[in-house]
Amino acid sequence: MMNTGSLKLATRGEREIVMTREFNAPRRLLFDVFTKPELVKQWLLGPPGWSMPVCEIDLKVGGKYRYVWRQDSDGTEMGMGGVYREIVAPERLVSTEKFDEAWYPGEAVGTIVLSEHGGKTTITQTILYESWEARDAVLKSGMEKGLAASYERLADTLASVRTGGLEKRAGRS
C-alpha cells in the first residue's frame, strides 16, 4: 500500500486500484463535491497549473458526465467522460470512465463509496480496468500524485463550502 499524504492507494486482484482518504466533513457534503459541477471544478484538477473549463454532469442512472482539463500554460487539453451506472445518494456512485485520447486500453468502471462515522467521511474509490496491463499502465503514470493533489484541494473546497455559505445555498444547513 502506498500513502501519498493522507491518500492510501492499493491494488486488489489483477485489475483494480483502491484509493481511500478520510475527510472532516459529512458524507452529504462529499457527495455534493463529487456531483455538482460548480464544486467539482474547484478541486478535480490534478497537478497545479490545470483548470477545468468543461464540467457537465447529468446525475441520473444512464446520464453522462464530461470533464475537460486545460493546462493553463500552453492550452493543452485532456478530456474524458462516462455514464452513471448506479447512484445511491449520498453514499455511492458507479460510473464508466474513458479518456478522449486513451492513454490506457479500454474503458474503466469507477466506484465511489462514502462512509461517515462521527462527522468524518472516508472515501473509498475503486477503479476496475479491463486488463492488468491497463491497471499497471495507470499505476506507472504517477496518477496517485495528481489524485493526492486533487484530494488536498478537495479538503480546501470542503472547508470553504462549510465556512462560505455554499452549504446553505446548496440547501444544507
Q: In terms of Cα–Cα distance, which of 23, 6, 8 is closest to 118? A: 23
DSSP, residue by residue, 16-34: EEEEEEEESS-HHHHHHHH
CATH number of 38's domain: 3.30.530.20
Please give the pLDDT value at position 51: 94
List of residues 6+ apart from 141 with CB closer than 8 A: 103
* Backbone angles phi and psi of 65, in degrees to 5: -130, 155
Whether residue 57 is contained in a domain is answered as no
Split into its structural domains, the chain has a count of 1
Whether residue 38 is contained in a domain is answered as yes
User: Rounded to an integer, what distance in angstroms lies between the CA atom of residue 104 and that of residue 109?
Assistant: 13
Per-residue pLDDT of the chain (173 residues; tens, 9 = 90+): 444 458 999 999 999 999 999 999 999 999 999 999 999 999 998 778 899 999 999 999 999 999 999 999 999 999 999 999 999 999 999 999 999 998 888 899 999 999 999 989 999 999 999 999 999 999 998 888 888 888 999 999 998 887 775 544 444 44
Whether residue 76 is contained in a domain is answered as no
Its pTM stands at 0.88
Give the domain range for residue 22. Answer: 2-44+88-164
Please give the pLDDT value at position 103: 82
Whether residue 15 is contained in a domain is answered as yes
